[in-house]
Amino acid sequence: MAAEKGIRARRVAEGIREEISSLLEFKVKDPRAAGAVVTRVEMHADLQSGRVFVRLLAGGDLEAQKRLVEALDHASGMLRREVTKRLGLRRAPELRYAYDDGQDNVSRIETILAEIDAERKGR
């Protein structure tokens, strides 16, 4: 039964990711959310709550990232209603939004490794 809950949570998380992506593209008019991409959604096994990870397509400074999360928090009621309706969920899950800086970290590491490689070749 526990494995079944985990599989369902993953399926619901993927559905939420797709629906929020669609809503960001067509329904959310807040300019602070322009260029937002949903990278992943993590749902608790009970489907009561989850975390939506987003990032800006064009990157962005810390202030732009903060504005994006604020815009999504502001639109959270509408997003929650729409996702619940579109996926046919019995209960509307509580969704929290967070900026996904994982790709930024990867880029930073790649830059450091490239600098190390260039330094070694220069010797």
pLDDT digits (tens, 9 = 90+) for 37-96: 999 999 999 999 999 999 998 777 889 999 999 999 999 999 999 999 999 999 999 999
Distance, in Å, from the CA atom of 111 to the CA atom of 98, rounded to the nearest integer, reads 25
Please, are residues 41 and 16 in contact by the beta-carbon 8 Å criterion? yes
* Domain count across the chain: 1
First CA to last CA across the chain, in angstroms? 60
* 67, two tokens: 């504005």
Domain that holds residue 107: 2-122
Q: Does residue 123 surpass a pLDDT of 80?
A: no
**pLDDT reported for residue 105:** 66
Q: Exposed, middle or buried, 68 (CB in 10 Å: 0-12/13-18/19+)?
A: buried
**pLDDT reported for residue 122:** 76
- 94: domain CATH number is 3.30.300.20
